[in-house]
Each structure stands twice: as structure tokens, then as C-alpha cells.
Structure 1
Amino acid sequence: MSSPRLPKRPHDPDLTVAGEEFFFPDVRTTVNLFAIHTRSVRRDWNYPPHEHPQYEINIVLAGEQVMVVDGHSFIQRQGDLMLLRPGMVHSSRSSGQGFTYFCMHFDIDDKLFLSLLSRLEQVLFPADGAVAKQMGPALSKLLDLSALEDMGISGDSVAKRMRIQSAVFELFATLWEAVSSEAAHLPGRGYVQAELAHQIASRLQGRVNQPYRQAGSAEKQDGIEGISSELGISVSHCNRVFRSVFGVSPRVYLSELVLHEAKLLLADPQWSVQQIAELLGYGDIAHFSRQFKRWSGQSPTSYRKSVAPESSSE
């Protein structure tokens, strides 16, 4: 998370003259990748019916395969993409000739992304369709990583894993863009709720990142009311939708964001607790100290000593 703009110090340039500023969104997404591989098989190859708890992306690179998904048979030709949801029973076999395919299993904790994927009724996306075409360049970048062995980057090296993660996130971004238009016409209250909850979360994050907050803004109870008004929904609906997606109320979520920001600032001994309280929008240091202790079980000064033992006293 980006720290808010800090108070002006005597030897600093004039920080009160605001220039252009842009906050990138926080990234708190966890992705687990399993059994990423390419394989060339013979004309008599087959894989028995099975299921797994992850999503699967399967693309035929050459030839064609027969894929049976939940009892429905599909001919998957070169460039065709299949997106299988967790729990789908599927099997595959050659269609009388050998073929080459790419396969990747994954799970991801982004609720909005998962909600979008869960709405899709389609499992096969043909090579000449919009989804497969859009994903082509990102997929090629991922497949090119097989050449890393020739570059001396082999095995389970950190560099190789980082490159794989980078390519996979690019693939997911393209998948999101491509699939969003496909899913736009489908019913899906869950997706709408997840999207609204993420809009609320984004605005809560903006409240924390907002530089030079007004004194007492963190103590006011109108933060959620303001966001509800911006989105044109009631406070009760705002709370209900947010809790259904994130499992906590918006107020608790905001408290967690403020606590995280407070810890970042306390880890830097050049800023006093008084300054940090002001930055976070508290009218007085006593209230900030009480809130911080309630959240973390430690006073701000005690926490600072635990992470920066040589810091000077407040």
C-alpha cells in the first residue's frame, strides 16, 4: 500500500505544492498454479474421466482432441480454447491422430474474477472467436517460457517462476477483458454484487490514501454513508453486499486498511505519533492511540519499539 503524503520537514522541498499524483491500485491477489505443461500424444492416447478443484485452461496447439465435459462431447481443434470450472467431470482422447496441447490448472482468490468465470456457460472458445484471438499473444508469451532452459534459466529457479507468474497474470488480464464481453448478457446477481463490493473496497482504499485528510475524518461515521451516496445505494445495502463478498463489514475493512497504513508509518521513526495521527485523520493523538491498541493489542509507541527498537521516544 502506498503511504500517504507525509508532513513537510524543514529540509524537504515544498510538499504543500501539489503536483500531479496517481495512486496505483493495491494488488492483493493470490494465484496458485498447478501442472502447467505442453504434451504431444499419439493417436491412441486417452485420459480417463476426472475432476479437480481448480480451474483448467486447455488449448490444442496442433491436431485435434475429443473432450467430454459433464457428458457433452466437444471436438477441440488447433487454437481452440477450453475453460473448465472446478468440479466439471471431463475426459479427453485423440480423434484418430496425434495432437499437442497446453494445459494449466489454477485457483485465484479474486472474488470478482471468480464470479465472472462462474457465470460462463460456454466451455469451448473456438480459435476464430474473439476470446481465443485476444488471448493468443499472452498465451504465446507463456509458451515461449519453455525456451528458458536454453537460456540457462532452468528448473525451479526464482527467475523462471517470476517470469511464469508475470506471463500468467498477463494471460488472466487478457482473459478478463475477453470474457467480460461474453458474459455481459448472462444473468448473474452474484457477479453484480461482487463488482459493487469491489467498487466499495476501491473507494475505501481511496479514503485511506487521500493525502492531508481533514482532522477528525477517521473518527466520523459518515465514510460509509458518503460511499453509499456516491454509488446511489442505501447504507444497509452497502453493508450487506460488502459483507456477502468480503466476509466483514466495510467499517471493519476500513479499520484494517488504516491499521496497515499506521504500521507502515510507525515503522519509520522520523515521523512522530502525533504526525501519524494527523495524517490518518484523527483529531487527537489519544483517540488514535486507543484505536491502534484496540486493533493491534499494542500502543503505537510499543509497536514502534518492536519494529524499530532504536527509534527515539515520542
Structure 2
Amino acid sequence: MTAPRLPTGFERTDAEILFPDVKTTLNLFGIHMRRVPGNWSYPSHEHPQYEINYLLEGKQTMTVNGNRVAQRSGDLLLLKPGDVHDSRSGDGEPFTYFCIHFDLDDRLFLSLLSRLEQVLFPADGTVARKVAPALGRMMEPGSAFDAGSIAGRMRLQACAFELFAQLWEAISEETASLPMQSYGKVALAHEIARRLQALASQTFHQGQPAESHYGIEEIADELGISGSHASRTFRDVYGKSPRAYWSELVLHEAKQLLADPRHAVQAIAAILGYRDIAHFSRQFKRWTGFAPSDYRRLSGSRSAEQPD
């Protein structure tokens, strides 16, 4: 077996690499590949999710929000939630397409998608070329049949995340020439969130006070902006204050620790940087409505009730 390889230089230093938490939720709907006859058409409709429509062969004509869009083999259509669209053959001949409906909760990614001014991405353009390999893996023979199993669903999601990673990079290039003001605000909020996550991880490891030192002023100084501007920008993008976001990080860590019966509540309070167990218990009850010991007991009961 090949031994794992450390990052270059890491093995020679007393160092630590902090990886950000990954909490993106992805939902996939109505994935299908279909070959239709030349007289086929689909009436005007809309979806609450994004839609990717990738043409494999033939020609397709869509009317999107009243605008006619001609799609050829290899072209990709990206429709936003609420886009009213219909579909038919572009030349009266059969055509084959692959379709995915999706939503996800990454605000930065969704903000980037919302800035797009186009629907059609041609086959020879950056977006279609970059996502084509990931789309191809999703369409490999047997994928649809295997998706009924847990392992199959995981593989399908892995392909989808790779697809969105490529889509993010490609669309970032496409939108580079657009006005930066809106995207700059979102990128700044995302950077503040990333630094808060890193600070939270450091806090939990070192037992620093979790509530009295949540770092937004320090982060603002590092970014060369005022604390008020940092807080206002963060709230505009995430819909909550940095302090509320910080509290969510602490609460998430507390729940993770309480789920492990090896950790006493007093030890958890110390890990999270609270000065005593009473302070931690009051704060946790303010967040959840339960004392930490009650939450542990109730969550343990729910786990025990889950079927094998």
C-alpha cells in the first residue's frame, strides 16, 4: 500500500493546518436524460430550483421569459428559479438532452449565479467546456440504475459537487468583466465567514472565551475596514450579524461534543472557553430551550429510537 504523503514542508515544522467546516446542502431533482421525436414539445412552465439543460445531439429551441434561445449540440442552458420556459425541437428533428434541477444553500455560489446575464452557454465557451466532463460522468451507463442505493446516491452527489466546482470556476471567469460592486460585497462577507470559522476552530482548541472574544473587530482590522462596515456587509449577505453567526458556530460545536458521552458537560464548557459550567448552561438553554444535560439525554433517546 502507498503511504500517505504529507504536504511539502509540513513534516519539518511544528505546524497545524485548519480546514474550514463544510456545511453546504445540495438537493437534486428530476435528473433525466431523454431522446424526443421531432414533433415533441413541452409547455410553458417554471421551477423553484435552478435548471441545467445540456444538449447532447440535435437542436432545441427554448423560449425563456419571452426570449427565444436556440440550443445546439454541446450547448448548455442555465435557468434561474422562476424563469418561465417552454421547449421544442429546433429543426423538426429528434434531439437528446440531459436535465438537472438543483438548489443549494451556499450564498456566495448563489450570488454568483444571480449575477449571470445570459442563459445560453455555447459548446465552445468556457462554461460548457469545463462542466462537460462532470456531466459526462453523471451520464455514464448504469449511473441512473445505481442511484437507488446509498453508495450510488453518494457517487451521484460526488459527481454533482464536482460539476458545481467546475461551474463555479467557469462562471467566475465569465463574470469577471461584470461590475464588481455587488460581487465584492458577497466575497467580503464570505471571507469574514471563513475567518470566523478559523477563529472558532482556534478558540475551541485553545479554550479561549467563546462569547467575549468573537473576533469581528480583529477581522475587520486585518481586512482594512471598519467593524461597522464588516458587520453591515455580513448582515446584507448572510441575513444575520457576525455575532449571530459566531453563536451558531459555537452551538454547532457544543451539540457535536454533547453527542459524545465521553465528554462531561463541565469539560465541554471548558473546551468552548466558558468560564464555568453555569455560564455555558445558561447560554446553551438560551439558544435551544434545553439545559445541556437535558439536550444530551433527549438527543440520545432520539438516536436510540432510529431503526437500524
Alpha-carbon shift at residue 277 of structure 1 (Å) = 2.6
2:45 corresponds to: 50
Alpha-carbon shift at residue 20 of structure 1 (Å) = 4.4
1:72 corresponds to: 67
Distance 1:109 1:89 in 2: 23
Distance 1:196 1:129 in 2: 29
Distance 1:36 1:66 in 2: 20
Mapping 1:62-101, distance limit 5 Å:
62-94=57-89, 95-101=91-97
Matched AA of 2:124: D
Alpha-carbon shift at residue 75 of structure 1 (Å) = 2.2
1:38 corresponds to: 33
Mapping 1:65-144, distance limit 5 Å:
65-94=60-89, 95-144=91-140
Alpha-carbon shift at residue 173 of structure 1 (Å) = 0.8
Distance 2:290 2:196 in 1: 24
1:196 corresponds to: 188
Matched AA of 2:54: I
Say which is worse superposed, 96-105 or 183-192, in terms of deviation: 183-192
Distance 2:281 2:209 in 1: 16
Change (3 A) 1:218 1:97: same
Alpha-carbon shift at residue 252 of structure 1 (Å) = 1.5
Structure 2 residue runs without a partner (length 5+):
1-12, 302-308
Mapping 1:1-314, distance limit 5 Å:
20-94=15-89, 95-144=91-140, 146-148=141-143, 153-154=145-146, 156-187=148-179, 189-210=181-202, 216-221=208-213, 223-307=215-299
For these two proteins, the number of residue pairs brought into alignment is 288
Matched AA of 2:78: L
Bigger share in helix: 2
Distance 1:306 1:106 in 2: 34
Q: Contact 2:147 / 2:156 at 8 angstroms: preserved in 1?
A: no
Alpha-carbon shift at residue 226 of structure 1 (Å) = 1.1
Helix, strand or coil: the match of 1:176?
helix
Say which is worse superposed, 61-70 or 184-193, in terms of deviation: 184-193
Q: Contact 2:203 / 2:210 at 8 angstroms: preserved in 1?
A: no
Distance 2:289 2:57 in 1: 59
Q: Contact 2:27 / 2:104 at 8 angstroms: preserved in 1?
A: yes
Distance 2:99 2:273 in 1: 50
Change (3 A) 1:176 1:215: closer
Alpha-carbon shift at residue 74 of structure 1 (Å) = 2.6
Change (3 A) 1:54 1:307: closer
Structure 1 residue runs without a partner (length 5+):
1-17, 310-314
Distance 2:151 2:79 in 1: 29
Matched AA of 2:75: D
Q: Contact 1:213 / 1:281 at 8 angstroms: preserved in 2?
A: no
Alpha-carbon shift at residue 137 of structure 1 (Å) = 0.9
RMSD of the alignment, in Å?
2.5
Distance 1:264 1:278 in 2: 15
TM-score for the superposition, normalised by structure 2: 0.83
Alpha-carbon shift at residue 160 of structure 1 (Å) = 2.8
TM-score for the superposition, normalised by structure 1: 0.82
Structure with more contact order per residue of length (Cα contacts < 8 Å, sep ≥ 6): 1
